[in-house]
Amino acid sequence: MTDGLSNLSILRRNWPEYVDPRTTHLVDVAGVLIGEARPVVIAGPCAVESYEQTLSAARAVAAAGGRLLRGGAFKPRTSPYSFQGLGEAGLDILARVREATGLGIVTEVQDPRMVERVADMADMLQIGSRSMQNFPLLVEVGRAGMPVLLKRGFSATLEEWLCSAEYVAREGNLDIVLCERGIRRDCSWSHARSQFDLDVIEPLRRATPLPVIGDPSHATGEWTRVEEVSQAALEAGVHGLLIEVLAPGTERSELRCDAHQGVPEDTLRRIVEFADSREVAAASPAAPVASGEVQ
C-alpha cells in the first residue's frame, strides 16, 4: 500500500471514534439517517423531465415507503447529442416537488461552477460515476458543507474510490455516503449494463465507517432485474439503496433518459418491504484480510 492510501483520514484505523468495525458514521439527510441498522431507500426518476412526471414519481416513492427522492437535473450523458437534463429548470421542479411531498432531494452536480447553485436547493449532492475523479469538483462539494453521495467510478478500484472520498473529507465534510453502482465488465456480455460488485461491500465497510449504499438500477440497466440485485445488495451489507422509478402515468417510450431502468410502483413497494424487514449487519471484525486491501 502506498503512503497516499495509508494516511486517509476516512479509514477506520485513522478515525479514532470508529476504529471498531461495528460502528458507522451516520449521515443526516433532511432528517433521514443513513448508516443506521434500518436501510434507507432513496428512489425517483433518472432525470427530472417535467413537473408532472417528477411529482408523480415522488408520490409513488412516498407511498411505497421510500424516504428520499432522487432525480437528475444535470445528466451526465455519453453522447453530447443526448438529453442533458433540464438544468436549472429541473432544480426548480425538484424544489416544488419537495414542497409538495416533504421528501428530501438527492441530485447530481457535475460542474464545479454549479456547486453553489445546486447546493442551495438540494439536501444531498450526488457525484456521478463519471465524475468520481473530477478532483476540483470533489473539493468544491467538500466545501459546500452538505451531505454527499459519492458514486464509485465504473472502473475504479476500492482504493481509488476511498481516495476520492478523502478529497471531500479533507475540506472538512465527513458526511459522505458511498454508492456502489456497478462496474464495467466484458462488453460482449450484452445482457446487463454493468455488474453490481457485491464483493466490495464488506471490505469497504471494514475499511471505512462511512455508510455504503447500492444502486442496482445502473448496475443492471433493466428494471426487471433491479429487485433481485437490491436483495443481494442488502444481503451483502449495504445501508440503503438508490432506485430508479417509473412515474405512474408515464410511458417508457416518452422518457429521454434510462427508460428501461425505472421500476414500477409495485416493485418499489416490494423492495422497500424487503429492506424494512431486515437490519444492516455490522461489518465483520473477524473477516479475513485480502491482500492489497486498504486497512
Among 40, 46, 64, 176, the residue binding Mn ion under the rule CB under 5 A is 46
Q: Which residues pair with 28 in a beta bridge?
A: 33
Report the nearest approach of ligand PEP to the CB of residue 14 (Å): 28
Among 25, 67, 98, 218, the residue binding ligand PEP under the rule CB under 6 A is 218
Task: State the binding string over 65-104 for ligand PEP (x if CB under 6 A, else -).
Answer: -------x---x----------------------------
Using rule CB under 5 A, residue 258 touches Mn ion: yes
Question: Is the separation of the CB atoms in 143 and 119 below 8 Å?
Answer: no
Query: Which residues are within 8 A (CB) of 164 and not within 5 positions of it... i.e. 6 or more apart?
Result: 127, 132, 133, 135, 138, 150, 153, 156
Size of the site for ligand PEP (CB under 6 A): 9
Report the nearest approach of ligand PEP to the CB of residue 124 (Å): 12
Q: Which residues pair with 183 in a beta bridge?
A: 195
Report the nearest approach of ligand PEP to the CB of residue 272 (Å): 18
Residue whose CB is less far from ligand PEP, 137 or 283: 137
Q: Give the range of 17-25, 115-123, 128-136, 155-163 binding ligand PEP by CB under 6 A.
A: 128-136
d(CA 75, CA 93) in angstroms, rounded, equals 15
Give 252-255's long-range contacts (Cβ < 8 A, gap of 24+).
Answer: 254/49, 255/45, 255/46, 255/47, 255/49
Q: Which of Mn ion, ligand PEP, none does residue 76 bind to, with CB < 5 to 8 Å depending on kind? A: ligand PEP
Residue whose CB is less far from Mn ion, 46 or 156: 46
d(CA 102, CA 118) in angstroms, rounded, equals 18
Query: Which residues are within 8 A (CB) of 87 and not within 5 positions of it... i.e. 6 or more apart?
Result: 73, 74
Question: Is the separation of the CB atoms in 173 and 145 below 8 Å?
Answer: yes
* Cell numbers that stand for 16 in this block: 479514532
Query: Between helices 51-64 and 88-101, what is the axis angle to 10°?
Result: 40
Instruction: Please tell me the number of Cα atoms within 13 Å of 208 on its side-chain side.
Output: 30
Residue whose CB is less far from ligand PEP, 32 or 283: 32
Residue whose CB is less far from ligand PEP, 24 or 107: 107
- CB burial of residue 285 (10 Å; 0-12, 13-18, 19+): exposed
Residue showing the smallest CB distance to ligand PEP in the complex: 128
Report the nearest approach of ligand PEP to the CB of residue 77 (Å): 9
Using rule CB under 6 A, residue 181 touches ligand PEP: yes
Report the nearest approach of ligand PEP to the CB of residue 181 (Å): 4
Query: Which residues are within 8 A (CB) of 131 and not within 5 positions of it... i.e. 6 or more apart?
Result: 76, 110, 137
Using rule CB under 6 A, residue 128 touches ligand PEP: yes
Size of the site for Mn ion (CB under 5 A): 2
Residues that bind Mn ion (CB under 5 A): 46, 258
Residues that bind ligand PEP (CB under 6 A): 46, 72, 76, 128-130, 151, 181, 218
